[in-house]
Amino acid sequence: MISILLSILIVACSTYIGWGISNYYKKRVIFFKDVNDLLNFLINNINFLKDSINVILLNFVKQQQPSVALIEIINDYISNKKQYYILLKKEEVYIINNIFNHLGKSDSENQIAGLKNFTFQINNVIEKCEADYNKIGRISTKLGFLFGITLAIFFI
């Protein structure tokens, strides 16, 4: 009886670990799609609104309701903090920091041109994240379950 309960626990834990890995890759895809939405929002609204960057960023958060990680980065930008996030790799942190360092540093035409360049970079990152999610994320829950079944068979 104990071996059956232990087997069920092992299968549940390994499936949960696989789900966590899948969720990590899914969050990365969502985050970078939100960053892309932010860049498009900035490109469309910098000339139109004529507001400060902070006001435009706050409007984006209210209207678009992006992922929690992006909201944290926007709040850190507004309060002049710089943090590194677990969700991001080193080169991605560099891109995100460059985006926020670029904001408000030049006239609107040059700023929009720079944001379009960042949009291209973010689209490349989105493609890579989606490929990772399709390759690793989607299968990790299934592999976790199968690994748990295998361990459970060995314990029985």
Residues 147 and 2 sit within 8 Å (Cβ to Cβ): no
Query: 3-class SS at 16?
Result: helix
Record the pTM: 0.81
Taking all residues of the chain, what is their mean pLDDT, rounded to a whole number? 84
pLDDT recorded at residue 87: 73
Q: Which helix (H) or strand (E) holds 64?
A: helix 53-64
Could you tell me if residue 58 is inside a domain?
yes
Tell me the pLDDT tens digit for each residue of 39-94.
888 888 877 766 777 788 888 888 888 888 788 888 777 777 666 566 778 888 88
Could you tell me if residue 154 is inside a domain?
no
Domain limits for position 70: 31-138
Q: Where are the beta strands (DSSP E) in 12-152?
A: none
Could you tell me if residue 152 is inside a domain?
no
Domains contained in the chain, number? 1
pLDDT recorded at residue 3: 81
